[in-house]
Amino acid sequence: MAIPNSTITMHHVGNVVENINMSMRAEDFPHIAELLNSLYAEPIVAIVREYSTNAWDSHVSAGVTRPIEITLPTTDRLELVIQDFGLGMSIDDLRNTYSMYGASSKRLSNAVAGQLGLGCKSGLSYAEAFTITAIKDGIKTVAMSTKDDHGIGVIKVLDTAGTTEGNGVRINIPIQRYDVAKVCDAAYKLFQFWSPDTVLINGSTPITPDWAIAPLRIDNDTLVVRSDGSLNTSYVIMGNVPYPVKDAKVGRSNRRFVARINIGDVDFVPSREAVKHTRHTDATLSELSEYITDNFDRVLKTKLGTATNKWEETLLGILWSGKTLALESNQDRYIISYNPEHGARRKSQSHAKYNLYNITQSNVIVVTGFNAKTLSAPARSRLEEYAPKDTRFVILPAGVSGIGMLQGRPGTVAWETIVGSTNKVKVKGVARSRKTETVYQILDGGGMTAAELSSLTGKVMYLEPDDTARYGSLDGTVVRLYSTRQLQRIRRAVPNIVHYPVELQARQDEALEAITSYDISVAQARTLDSVFASLPAERVEDPELAKHIRLSKVADTDTIADANRLGITVRFSEITDYRRRYQLINPYGQPANLSTTYKEDCLLYINTKYNNTILLNNPLQVKGAA
């Protein structure tokens, strides 16, 4: 679809005395520039979206089919890197287009997304400066985008040199430590909508989101998906930019669509954070919704025809048709939902029906033919031995109708199968000894009787059903209890058993008291930027920096190791920001294994600036003087 043209209707009112063209005074530009730098409501989302989109646009324009590459920040490497292998840029490109507010080389093209001339400046909405490394036709240009004293963006060209590397652009944006998780989240939310083989994140293909695994495909560009926690609104994707479309659904409240449309099909706000609901946009969305609705039943019918058994057909009906399918039992046989993880037993609300949607989840085992009204302790033990402890069971007693709908479903078993799977515990209806010893669930799997627990030499701890403590931090045996009555019984056999959260808190308090000032210094030094940490401390003349470099490389003390194992974060005040002290060591895109030449340049710069600072502050103090 072509980019829409705007038609302005002129209404003639009297004679025109003068045409006054709107313009801007030079002294007002800093204010306008600041408004443009504050354009984005979510700057972190903007920098990921704008530079990634620009990178792919460059691939499209250059006919490059390989993915762009994204390197996400970590606490050890505080930068976001976007690398493309497209057209590249020269100094003239930086001067004539990249640096100009509103200038764009893409405005007359429907093949690429960038058209506003603002996205390449979005980095300044988040960071004080970021680095641009551009290669075009054998010339590499390294530049820094920052702001002058008036807040106006300026690109400082740091270096140009010949190179044999291919064309492309790399953007390196420094990320604050507390924003690392936000940047990663913004990246995964954006790239879940990108086409396959267009982007690599940290060298890997993005994980396919749940909503995209089994959608109803109207056509290659239009999917109908279920509304869930990962996708609760519809989206149109234009030029790899996803735009949420609120209140757009397909027939039922549990359906949404994700549709890839042509560039120009909808209008959007300057920040590209939302569609702009113009007459053109609304007409496109209305046409799209009508198209999906008209074809939905046809696609679903085809999908139902691919089912290989009754259960697959039933599942598809539940997922897409919204039917209220239920199993029914007779009045004296209750359907029971049982979760071994919490020791919970719950009857269905109506005591007669159980909605099939509740047993469509993969971690649910359906047990048919149970021969009792309630689930006894021995029966629970049977179930725990049959499947992992985090598996939920739906128990369907004899007499339940509608079992045929479960035909072919994985995880549907008869009670007799569970009874015959082990001889450890006997259940009602099967011969058993008069005294069956209770088997307690151990946290790391398996079970032990009270007698077996009492014979253990190590510490024995228990967890109550509602405990949410950090598990696995303490040595010993941990028992998961289902009720306070179990606690009373187990204490008779294991009188020294202790509550796991109480023991954990005591150990954490001990670990905190053991932390020394040296431990705190080590924890501080671990936050040192990787460029500085890689330098040889013995050659760094800034004593404070040299000390932190040494400490960043020492091994964990026993107290730090204990704190880490117990989930304790060693608290400390902020370390000196050496990137501000030595600002020229800010080409954030340096590789992990820094070259010897680059390290030598860093050492020369650090030592020279440090000694010059001393000289300026105290002219009489010269290094090496008596």
How is 356-404 classified by DSSP, letter by letter? GGGG-STTEEEEEEE-SSS--HHHHHHHHHHS-TT-EEEEEETT-B-GG
Last residue of a domain, one of 389, 419, 449: 419
Among 455, 457, 363, 374, which Cα is nearest to 410's? 363
Mark residue 151 as left, alpha or beta (left: phi above 0; alpha: psi -120 to 50; beta: remaining). Answer: left
Per the DSSP assignment, residues forming a β-bridge with 275 are 268
Q: 34 is in which domain, residue-wise? A: 26-201
**What is the per-residue pLDDT for 288?**
92
| pTM reported for the whole predicted model | 0.52
Task: pLDDT band for 614, please (50, 70, 90 cuts).
Answer: low
Among 621, 555, 548, which Cα is nearest to 581's? 548
Positive or negative: CA dihedral 533, 539, 544, 550: positive
**What is the per-residue pLDDT for 332?**
57
**What is the per-residue pLDDT for 175?**
92
Question: Who contacts 314 (Cβ-Cβ below 8 Å, separation ≥6)?
Answer: 325, 356, 405, 406
- CA separation for the pair 305, 312 (Å, rounded): 10
**What is the per-residue pLDDT for 323?**
60
**What is the per-residue pLDDT for 106?**
45
Task: pLDDT band for 623, please (50, 70, 90 cuts).
Answer: very low
Task: pLDDT band for 198, please (50, 70, 90 cuts).
Answer: very high
**What is the per-residue pLDDT for 424?**
41
Q: Tell me the C-alpha to C-alpha distance, in Å, between residue 43 and each of 37, 145, 182.
A: 9, 16, 11
Around 297, how many Cα atoms within 13 Å sit in the side-chain half-sphere? Answer: 4
| Token pair for 191 | 């790239």
**What is the per-residue pLDDT for 66?**
95
DSSP characters for 151-203?
S-EEEEEEEEEE--SPSEEEEEEE--GGGHHHHHHHHHHHHTTSPTTSEEETT
Last residue of a domain, one of 167, 201, 235: 201
**What is the per-residue pLDDT for 202?**
92
Answer whether residue 425 is part of any domain: no
Residue 531 CA from chain centroid, whole number: 27
Buried b (16+ CB within 10 A) or exposed e, 564-581: eebebebebeebeebbeb
**What is the per-residue pLDDT for 5?**
42
**Do 249 and 234 contact (CB within 8 A), yes or no?**
yes
User: What is the percent of the chain with per-residue pLDDT over 90, rounded to a whole number?
Assistant: 17
Task: pLDDT band for 584, please (50, 70, 90 cuts).
Answer: confident
- CA separation for the pair 348, 337 (Å, rounded): 7
- CA separation for the pair 527, 579 (Å, rounded): 12
Answer whether residue 589 is part of any domain: yes
**What is the per-residue pLDDT for 248?**
65
Residues 521 and 558 placed together within one structural domain of the fold: yes
**What is the per-residue pLDDT for 354?**
67
Last residue of a domain, one of 358, 387, 419: 419
Per the DSSP assignment, residues forming a β-bridge with 241 are 238
Residues 81 and 218 placed together within one structural domain of the fold: no
Number of C-beta neighbours around residue 280 at 10 A: 15
Residues 556 and 415 placed together within one structural domain of the fold: no
| Token pair for 46 | 């903007």
Q: Is the pLDDT of residue 430 over 50?
A: no
Q: What is the CATH number of the domain that holds 180?
A: 3.30.565.10
**What is the per-residue pLDDT for 566?**
82
Among 150, 169, 188, 148, which Cα is nearest to 97's? 169
User: What is the percent of the chain with per-residue pLDDT over 70, rounded to a whole number?
Assistant: 73
Question: Who contacts 134 (Cβ-Cβ below 8 Å, separation ≥6)?
Answer: 88, 89, 90, 93, 94, 140, 141, 143, 168, 169, 170
**What is the per-residue pLDDT for 86?**
93
Answer whether residue 105 is part of any domain: yes
Q: Is the pLDDT of residue 432 over 60?
A: no
Residues 43 and 151 placed together within one structural domain of the fold: yes
**What is the per-residue pLDDT for 397?**
78
pLDDT per position as a tens digit, 326-341: 677 655 566 777 776 5
- 427-455 mean pLDDT: 62
Per the DSSP assignment, residues forming a β-bridge with 236 are 243, 259
pLDDT per position as a tens digit, 49-78: 989 998 999 999 999 999 999 999 988 889
Answer whether residue 400 is part of any domain: yes
Give the chain's domain count: 5
Residues 100 and 185 placed together within one structural domain of the fold: yes
Residues 177 and 31 placed together within one structural domain of the fold: yes
Residues 350 and 415 placed together within one structural domain of the fold: yes
Answer whether residue 241 is part of any domain: yes
Q: What is the DSSP letter of 592?
A: S
Residues 469 and 388 placed together within one structural domain of the fold: no
pLDDT per position as a tens digit, 463-501: 887 776 556 678 888 887 877 777 888 888 888 899 988
Beta strands 460-463 and 498-499: pairing type?
A: parallel
Question: Who contacts 515 (Cβ-Cβ below 8 Å, separation ≥6)?
Answer: 559, 560, 563, 570
Answer whether residue 235 is part of any domain: yes
Residues 197 and 215 placed together within one structural domain of the fold: no
Residues 161 and 35 placed together within one structural domain of the fold: yes
Of how many residues is the chain composed?
A: 626
**What is the per-residue pLDDT for 560?**
85
Residues 172 and 296 placed together within one structural domain of the fold: no
How would you write 328-353 as a 3-class SS string? ECCCCCCCEEEECCCCEEEECCCCCE
Q: Tell me the C-alpha to C-alpha distance, in Å, between residue 438 and each of 452, 454, 549.
A: 11, 13, 57
Q: Among 20-29, 209-218, 388-397, 450-459, where is mean pLDDT lowest?
A: 20-29
Of the segments 30-44, 93-107, 141-155, 230-244, which one has the largest average pLDDT value? 230-244
**What is the per-residue pLDDT for 625?**
41
Residue 32 CA from chain centroid, whole number: 35
H/E stretch holding 243 reads strand 241-245
Q: Among 159-173, 346-360, 502-516, where is mean pLDDT lowest?
A: 346-360
pLDDT per position as a tens digit, 106-140: 434 444 444 444 557 778 888 888 899 999 999 99
Q: Dihedrals φ, ψ of 44, to 5°?
A: -65, -45
Among 510, 505, 440, which Cα is nearest to 467's? 505
Answer whether residue 16 is part of any domain: no
Residues 71 and 116 placed together within one structural domain of the fold: yes
pLDDT higher at 431 or 286: 286
Q: Is the pLDDT of residue 1 over 70?
A: no
Q: What is the DSSP letter of 124?
A: G
- 544-573 mean pLDDT: 83
| Strand intervals (E) in 4-152 | 68-71, 79-84, 129-136, 139-147
Answer whether residue 428 is part of any domain: no
Mean pLDDT of the chain: 77
Helix 180-191 to helix 43-62 angle (10° resolution) is 40
pLDDT per position as a tens digit, 257-283: 999 999 889 998 877 788 888 999 999
**What is the per-residue pLDDT for 337?**
78
